[in-house]
Chain A
Amino acid sequence: MPVLKEIAAVASVTMPIGENWTVSRCRYSTEGETKGRLCIATGIHGDERMGQMIVYEVAQKIQREPEHLHGVVDLYPMLNAIGLDVGQRMVPTATMLDMNRVFPGAPDGTALEGICYAVLQDMKGADLVMDIHTSSQITSELYGVRLHERDADVMIPGAYALCPKVIWVLPDKPGNNASLTGALTMEGTKAVVLMVDERRLRVSSVTSEVVDGIFCKMKEMGIWTGETKAAPNQDEIPCMWEEKDICRVTCKHPGIYVPRELNGTFVREGDVLGTIINALDGAAVETVVAPESGLIFTERRYSAVYPGTLIARLCRKERA
């Protein structure tokens, strides 16, 4: 059965000088009966570009094995296109807002609110929406699924099929609810965040595990019948239901943080995570240690830090 490919504009706003800010969608679908619809979005923050490669790999696999697609896959790789172009997290118009805090948007609001509204309307009703985010240049993240407290009971069983290293239930806070996935969840559409490492020097090592997870999930949904990675044993993936399942490690002094690069490993209480240095004094001002044992799933990279800067997040649970 042939796969149909259709690129369409979901929303568009005219910019002052000869340019449109368009949010485009590429739809892969099959004729006849569909087993479901999956939306994959990325690029809501302009400084997160790893999602481009993941969406590209998903599209490539669908095009290589069209006979295995039995549903609709909608790809939205460039939500904040202007931000992505200039490498800026916020939407680089005069208002400089975080697009992921403007949902659900408004049809009669500002240009940004109008775009957010149109995107949300286009995704509503899908069987699942994945919003791919990547760590910033100054943190490293283990591949994880983040979902919302509001529908965590329903969502967690299906999250394992994405083959993440960790699952994190985000608390029901106002900021989270104004995100794309938060607003979709409030509207009754299932939505998850895929958190991926922004590791530009070894791109394929990051993207392959995420792409494998996406196809594994598609198989579970019934919209993909090709070979995929086997779904992991649920007991192997730690699931952080509450904030108490997470240990946040912060630093006490300003300086330059030099990490030991331990992300993804279990550390024991007292293990050294990294050092804060002061170049002017030629001195190490702080040795940051793990306050307790756990799996590191967020790690600060080599960068300037302030007192209170997040150095690492440790998962206190070894198992689901």
Chain B
Amino acid sequence: MKKDVIFTVPSYFRDDMDIMGYRFGKGEKSCAVLGALRGNEIQQLYVCARLVAFLREVERDGGIMPGKSVLVVPTAIGLSMNAGTRLWAPENTDINRCFPGDMDGATTEQIAGALFEKLKAYKYGVQLTSFYQPGAFVPHVRMMETGRQNPELGCEFGLPYVYVRTPRISDQTTLNYCWQLAGTQAYSLYAGKTQEIDEAAADQTLRAIIRFLNGRGIIRSEQTPGQKSTVITNEDIISVTSKHAGLLRRVKHAGAHVRRGEQLAFVINPLDGSVKEMLKTPVTGMLFFIQDGPFVTEHSPVFQVLSK
């Protein structure tokens, strides 16, 4: 294992922030794995830390295939993680909205630029990412529809779903989008929770990455069989939205199978406890996403039901 400093952000008030990369093997730049790009992506950091520990053992046992190499970057935003802020605090900006970056730009653009310069050289790319809403997903592989996406390859992670999403205008500055356009087969993995460690989801995500690395002939290690993946698109997802604002009391959780008309959650008046609304699923399917914040506003998307 080689430890590289990918980029350093000198700081006036605090210690300098080094973005560390952990390299395994030599030769072709086969696969890069990126963890936290936001200060609250604790689960993403945790999965990467465990992946580094795992690959260290694989390398020791001669399991990195000749001529192949893997790069793991656990976090690009340690300074904000220490301070407990989601965005890059000095500029209040989201690094995952700054790609492909600019080495002559502001600090976040430089961070994105330095990372991208390293990452785009890899054949395969895996980003452990979080959703912009607080909540939990069924672990899945996601990619944007750029015309260069390869969902069939995404099935090699062995997760139950590979989600091909139509990008919005604002998505065009994300890593996944730019990574694909630069020629890397890029995948985003949603590893359950974000701000706290979810051991079961972390295990599942770690196993998926190991399966992919084995499947692509990059490492040789023990692995567990994956599931047969189903490729899904926006059209397979039905959003269940609250009509009222209040406290959210969930009845169902991510991954649950639900039948049409089944109760999912209650929206409660936060002052008198009366039920303002009962959320029901309009279709039979599986709860792909649940919002897990305590409050909902009017028109909040609370659940995503996968009807496929």
Q: B172, A174: Cβ atoms under 8 Å?
A: yes
Interface string of A90-131 (1 = CB under 8 A from B): 100111110001100000111100100000000000000000
Residues of B within 8 A of A90 (CB): 92
Considering the complex, which residues of chain B in the window 261-308 have a beta carbon less than 8 Å from any beta carbon of chain A? Answer: 270-271, 293, 295-301
Q: How far is the CA of A259 from the CA of B106 in the complex (A)?
A: 18
Q: B97, A175: Cβ atoms under 8 Å?
A: yes
Across the interface, A94 reaches (CB within 8 A) one of B10, B173, B244, B293, namely B293
Q: B11, A306: Cβ atoms under 8 Å?
A: yes
Q: Does A32 contact B (CB under 8 A)?
A: no
Q: Which residue of A lies closest to B246 (CB)?
A: A16
Q: Which residue of B lies closest to A101 (CB)?
A: B170
Q: Which residue of A lies closest to B268 (CB)?
A: A16
Q: How far is the CA of A173 from the CA of B90 in the complex (A)?
A: 24
Q: How far is the CB of A120 from chain B (nearest CB, A)?
A: 13
Could you say which of A101, A109, A173, A174 has the most chain B C-beta atoms within 10 Å of its C-beta? A174
Q: How far is the CA of A256 from the CA of B300 in the complex (A)?
A: 42
Q: How far is the CA of A246 from the CA of B143 in the complex (A)?
A: 36
Q: Does B133 contact A (CB under 8 A)?
A: yes
Q: Does B146 contact A (CB under 8 A)?
A: no
Q: Does A89 contact B (CB under 8 A)?
A: yes
Q: How far is the CB of B288 from chain A (nearest CB, A)?
A: 16
Q: A16, B12: Cβ atoms under 8 Å?
A: no
Q: How far is the CA of A304 from the CA of B134 in the complex (A)?
A: 31
Q: Does B53 contact A (CB under 8 A)?
A: no
Q: A94, B295: Cβ atoms under 8 Å?
A: yes
Interface string of A298-315 (1 = CB under 8 A from B): 000000111111100000
Across the interface, A111 reaches (CB within 8 A) one of B104, B270, B300, namely B300
Q: A175, B297: Cβ atoms under 8 Å?
A: no
Q: A111, B297: Cβ atoms under 8 Å?
A: yes
Residues of A within 8 A of B300 (CB): 110-111
Interface string of A179-190 (1 = CB under 8 A from B): 000000000000
Q: How far is the CA of A307 from the CA of B111 in the complex (A)?
A: 11
Q: How far is the CA of A292 from the CA of B104 in the complex (A)?
A: 17
**Stretch of A64-72, A140-148, A223-231, A247-255 with 4 or more beta carbons under 8 angstroms from chain B:** A247-255
Q: How far is the CA of A219 from the CA of B295 in the complex (A)?
A: 48
Across the interface, A308 reaches (CB within 8 A) one of B105, B169, B270, B298, namely B105
Residues of A within 8 A of B173 (CB): 173-175
Across the interface, A93 reaches (CB within 8 A) one of B109, B171, B247, B297, namely B297
Q: How far is the CA of A109 from the CA of B9 in the complex (A)?
A: 37
A177-B297 in contact given A17-B271, A248-B104, A305-B12 (Cβ < 8 Å): no
Q: How far is the CB of B116 from chain A (nearest CB, A)?
A: 15
Could you say which of B11, B134, B169 has the most chain A C-beta atoms within 10 Å of its C-beta? B169
Interface residues on A, range: 35 or more
Q: B90, A304: Cβ atoms under 8 Å?
A: yes
Residues of A within 8 A of B247 (CB): 16
Q: Does A278 contact B (CB under 8 A)?
A: yes
Q: Does B249 contact A (CB under 8 A)?
A: no
A14-B297 in contact given A174-B172, A175-B97, A306-B90 (Cβ < 8 Å): yes
Residues of B within 8 A of A307 (CB): 9-10, 107, 110
Q: How far is the CB of B65 from chain A (nearest CB, A)?
A: 38
Q: How far is the CA of A309 from the CA of B10 in the complex (A)?
A: 12
Considering the complex, which residues of chain B in the window 3-17 have a beta carbon less than 8 Å from any beta carbon of chain A? Answer: 9-13
Q: Which residue of A lies closest to B94 (CB)?
A: A98
Q: How far is the CB of A218 from chain B (nearest CB, A)?
A: 31
Q: Does A13 contact B (CB under 8 A)?
A: yes
Q: B271, A18: Cβ atoms under 8 Å?
A: yes
Could you say which of A14, A21, A256 has the most chain B C-beta atoms within 10 Å of its C-beta? A14
Q: A110, B299: Cβ atoms under 8 Å?
A: yes
Q: A306, B107: Cβ atoms under 8 Å?
A: yes
Q: Does B86 contact A (CB under 8 A)?
A: yes
Q: A13, B104: Cβ atoms under 8 Å?
A: no
Q: Which residue of B lies closest to A104 (CB)?
A: B169
A15-B245 in contact given A278-B12, A308-B106, A308-B110 (Cβ < 8 Å): yes
Q: How far is the CA of A296 from the CA of B218 in the complex (A)?
A: 53
Considering the complex, which residues of chain A in the window 127-164 have a beta carbon less than 8 Å from any beta carbon of chain B? Answer: none
Could you say which of A101, A173, A253, A254 has the most chain B C-beta atoms within 10 Å of its C-beta? A254
Q: How far is the CA of A13 from the CA of B297 in the complex (A)?
A: 7
Q: B169, A174: Cβ atoms under 8 Å?
A: yes
Considering the complex, which residues of chain B in the window 93-115 have a beta carbon less than 8 Å from any beta carbon of chain A? Answer: 97, 104-107, 109-110
Q: Does A53 contact B (CB under 8 A)?
A: no
Q: Does A178 contact B (CB under 8 A)?
A: yes
Q: Which residue of B lies closest to A18 (CB)?
A: B271
A304-B13 in contact given A13-B298, A174-B172 (Cβ < 8 Å): yes
Interface string of B1-35 (1 = CB under 8 A from A): 00000000111110000000000000000000000
What would 9 more interface pairs be, CB under 8 Å, given A109-B301, A306-B11? Answer: A16-B246, A93-B297, A95-B133, A108-B241, A111-B297, A175-B97, A178-B169, A304-B12, A307-B107
The interface of chain B, by Cβ under 8 A from chain A, is 9-13, 86-87, 90, 92, 97, 104-107, 109-110, 132-134, 168-173, 239, 241, 244-247, 270-271, 293, 295-301
A-B contacts, 5 listed (Cβ < 8 Å): A110-B133, A111-B297, A174-B172, A306-B9, A308-B104
The interface of chain A, by Cβ under 8 A from chain B, is 13-18, 21, 89-90, 93-97, 101-102, 108-111, 114, 173-175, 177-178, 248, 250, 253-256, 278, 304-310
By Cβ-Cβ distance, the 4 closest A-B pairs, closest first, are: A174-B172, A14-B298, A254-B12, A14-B245
